[in-house]
Amino acid sequence: MSREKLQQLGMDLPLFPTTSVGSFPKPDYLVKARADFNKSKITAPQLEELERKATAFWIAKQEELGIDVLVDGEMYRGDMVAYFAERLPGFTTSGVVRSYGNRYYHKPIVTGEVRWPKPITVDWWKYAQSLTKKPVKGMLTGPYTVMDWSFNEFYPDRKATCMALAGVIRKEVEALVAAGCKIIQIDEPALSVRPEELPIAIEAMQVVTDGLDAYFITHACYGAFEYIYPGMLDMPVHNFDLEMSNSDLHMIELFRSKPFTKDISFGVVDVHSHHIEDTATVRKRVEQALSILPREKVWVDPDCGLKTRTVEEAIEKLRACVAAAKAFRN
């Protein structure tokens, strides 16, 4: 059914389509430029020029590597939640809060009715898509994760906050679809944080995707999925993009107990390791996927965003994904 949806949208992807979760490492010149901008040493247009340069680099590099469904690399974003909160009325920003490891972000605070005044990602998607004939994914952070990673001082409870955010994100999705975007990924890394709230996440995603003519992916990672599987399969999306390698593919055993019914973007390289997987290792992981999953439902990609790797490491990990996928097409 999901492959039929892609064909209906005019996309004839090969078996084992390759893609990436979203973020790529920023080149050194852009890291410096972002720091300079924060110190008012350069202007917003000067920063954007370098963000566009970095985006063009990553689009060209993905084409060179043979990736099938591209991403813009998120050169213009910092934190995946704060980026959206900073552009939506109803949010303010707290001080610095630890995210994981030694990474920190300014945690958003909902202080009023959250509203969507204008498109946030559409112009960046249009720019990236203008650089290639291959499909570029639209990429958004989902309502449940934005809710879970923010403080709430306005709505009566977590569900009300999540549903308000769902209505706002729905408008951004509508704008992407209207612009011509056919594959839209809505990240929900917080999906398994509170298993009892899975119905809220599903209801919110229904608001976001219902009736829209696009192929929807949701990315979830580094969670206790045994507590939400198979219930998570009720999420109204076509494809789950899942971290598999870092957790030694333990979710395959869950799939044996209850068949996985959607397409899956199967994470085959670990984005939190400097080690570059060789093609044989990645092929073995794909083989393990195929021991339980139909080949027409399997996509190949990294576990998560590659922004924590060096540029060179990210390129080589993507190269390993492509080599393994191509080997299984023959």
Mean pLDDT within 96-102: 72
**For 161, what's the count of Cα atoms within 13 Å in the CB-facing half-sphere?**
23
pLDDT interval class at 100 (50, 70, 90): low
Rounded CA gap, 129 and 135, in Å? 7
In whole angstroms, give the CA distance from residue 130 to residue 9.
18
- The predicted pLDDT at position 128 comes to 98
State residue 1's pLDDT score. 52
Q: Which two tokens mark 38?
A: 């924060």
- For the chain, what's the residue count? 330
Does the structure show a pLDDT above 80 at 248? no
pLDDT of amino acid 247: 76
Mean pLDDT of all residues in 235-262? 89
Q: Which of 322, 323, 266 is nearest to 291 (CA)?
A: 266
What pLDDT does residue 168 have?
A: 98
Mean pLDDT score, 213-237: 93
What does the pLDDT average to over 51-63?
Answer: 98
* Tokens at 247, concatenated: 């957790």
Q: What percentage of the chain reaches a pLDDT higher than 70?
A: 98
Domain 2-79+118-329 belongs in CATH node 3.40.50.1370: no
CB 20 within 8 A of CB 314: no
Between CA 10 and CA 149 the distance in angstroms is 36
Residue with more model confidence, 212 or 244:
212
Token reading at 182: 């056919």
Could you tell me the residue ranges of all domains in the chain?
2-79+118-329
pLDDT computed for residue 105 by the predictor: 74
Percent of the chain's residues with pLDDT above 90: 86
Question: pLDDT category, 223, cuts 50, 70, 90?
Answer: confident
pLDDT at 106 over 90: no
pLDDT tens figures, 132-164:
999 999 999 999 999 999 999 999 999 999 999
Please state the pTM of the whole predicted model. 0.95
| pLDDT tops 80 at residue 286 | yes
pLDDT given at position 250 = 79
- The pLDDT value recorded for residue 184 is 98
Answer yes or no: are the C-beta atoms of 170 and 205 closer than 8 Å: no
Q: What is the pLDDT of residue 283?
A: 93
| Average pLDDT of the chain to the nearest whole number | 94
The pLDDT tens digits of the residues spanning 160-208 come to 999 999 999 999 999 999 999 999 999 999 999 999 999 999 999 999 9
